[in-house]
Structure 1
Amino acid sequence: MRFSSGFVLSLLMLAYAGTAFADASIRSVVVRGEGERAELAIEGEFSVPTYSVRATNQGRTVVIDVAGAKLPSGGIATKGQASFVKSVVGSTTARGARIEVTLAEALAYRARAESGEIRVSFSRIDANEPAAAAAADASGPLTIEDIHLERRDGRDRVVVKTTRAAEFKIGEPRDGNVNMEIRGARVSPRIDREVQGSSDGLVRRVRVSETNGRVRVSVEGFGAASTTAIREGNRIVWLFAPESSSEPRRSTKTIAREDLFGAGSAGDEEEVSTVDVASFLTDAPLQSRKGEPKFTGRRIDLDFKNADIHDILRLFADVGGLNVVTADNVGGRVTIKMRDVPWDQALDVVLQAKGLGMMRRGNLIRVAQLSTLEKERESAIARLKQREQLAPLETRLVPVSYATAGAVQPRVRELLSSRGSVSVDERTNMLIVRDIVDNLDDVEALVRTLDTQTP
Structure 2
Amino acid sequence: MMVNTVNKNIQAGKLTYSALAKMAGIVIGLWMLAFNALAADAKLMASSFVALPDNKLEVRFDFDVPPTLPKSYMTNSPARLVLDMWGVENTLDTRLLSVESGNVDKINFAQVAGRLRVVVDLFEPSAFETRTDGNSLFLTVGDRGMAKQEVAKVSKAVAADSAARPVVSDKTRINGVDFERTPEGAGRVVISLSDDHAGVDVIEEGNNVVVNLLGVDLSVSMQNRIDVQDFATPVMFIDSMASGENVSILIKPSSEPYDYMVYQTNNQLVVDLKPVTQAQLDKIEQERFPYQGERIDLDFQNVEVRSVLQILAEVAEMNLVVSDNVGGNITLRLKNVPWDQALDLILTTNKLDKREMGNVLLIGTAEEIKEREKIELESSKSVEELAPLRTEFIQVDFRKASDMVSRLNEAKLVSERGFLLADDETNVLMVRETGKRIEEIRATLRRFDTEVAQVLIEARLVTANTTVSKDLGVKWGLGYGDTDSSGNAISIGSSISGVSSPGSVPSGLMVDLGAGVTSPASVAIGLASNTGLLQLELSALETDGKIEVISQPKIMTTNGKAAMIESGKEIPYQTVEDGDVSVAFKDVVLSLEVTPRINPGDRIAMDLVIHKDSIGEQLDNGDISIIKNALETSVVVPDGQTIVLGGVFENETSDVVNKTPLLGDIPVLGALFRNKSKSNTKTELLIFITPKLVRESLSAQ
TM range (shorter): 0.3 to 0.5
Structure index of larger Rg = 2
TM-score normalised to the size of structure 2?
0.23
Q: Please identify which structure carries the higher strand content.
A: 2
TM-score normalised to the size of structure 1?
0.34
